[in-house]
């Protein structure tokens, strides 16, 4: 599934706005690996892209197609350069940081506080239970 001409033109415009010149890019095609079967392992579909002025390196193998990977690598390069220029974190990085915070281990104090709340809740639930009679 090739990339539409509209998307290609948008990417070219974005690169032009960020002053990314194709002469500043070092592009190599590397032998693929991983999922995709024998075809991926035999072809040089993985794209390595380096922007010489900034030193940013991108390696992309999202798709089996070399052209798609070239597009994705250039798009990722634009995102990284925009990040550097504007000093604003991208949505992708913000999502990664959010997941990292969620997975982070709780502090001792926070864990104790959470356990105390659970114990209080358990006691109130136990109080709601009907009273057992020993008439049997």
Q: CATH number of the domain at 48, please.
A: 3.30.160.20
HSE of 127, CA atoms in CB hemisphere, 13 A:
6
How large is the greatest C-alpha to C-alpha distance in the chain, in angstroms? 91
Domain that holds residue 106: 93-127
Q: Is residue 79 one of the residues assigned to a domain? A: yes
Residues in the chain: 136
CA 101 to mean position of chain CA atoms: 15
Question: Looking at the structure, do residues 66 and 108 belong to the same domain, yes or no?
Answer: no
Same domain, 58 and 123: no
Q: Is residue 134 part of a domain?
A: no
pLDDT of residue 136: 58
**Range with top average pLDDT, 11-20, 108-117, 124-133:** 108-117
How many structural domains is the chain composed of?
A: 2
Residues 79 and 97 in one domain: no
The strand pairing partners of 70, in sequence order, are none
Mean pLDDT within 99-110 = 92
pTM of the model: 0.66
pLDDT of residue 110: 93
Same domain, 38 and 84: yes
Say yes or no: 22 and 67 in one domain. Answer: yes
> In the chain, pLDDT over 90 holds for what percent of residues?
54
Query: Is 66:45 a contact under the CB 8 Å cutoff?
Result: yes
The answer to whether position 19 is within a domain reads: yes
What is the tens place of the pLDDT at every residue in 59-95? 998 888 889 999 999 999 998 898 888 877 777 788 8
């Amino acid at each position: 599934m090739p990339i539409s001409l509209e998307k290609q033109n948008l990417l070219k415009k974005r690169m032009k706005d960020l002053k990314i010149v194709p002469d500043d890019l070092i592009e190599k095609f590397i032998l693929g690996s991983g999922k995709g079967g024998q075809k991926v392992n035999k072809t040089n579909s993985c794209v390595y892209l380096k922007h010489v002025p900034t030193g940013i390196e991108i390696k992309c193998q999202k798709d089996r197609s070399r052209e798609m990977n070239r597009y994705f690598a250039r798009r990722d390069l634009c995102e990284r350069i925009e990040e550097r220029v504007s000093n604003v974190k991208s949505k992708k990085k913000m999502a990664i940081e959010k997941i990292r915070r969620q997975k982070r281990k709780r502090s001792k104090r926070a864990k104790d506080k959470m356990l105390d709340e659970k114990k209080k809740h358990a006691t109130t639930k136990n109080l709601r239970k009907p009273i057992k009679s020993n008439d049997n």
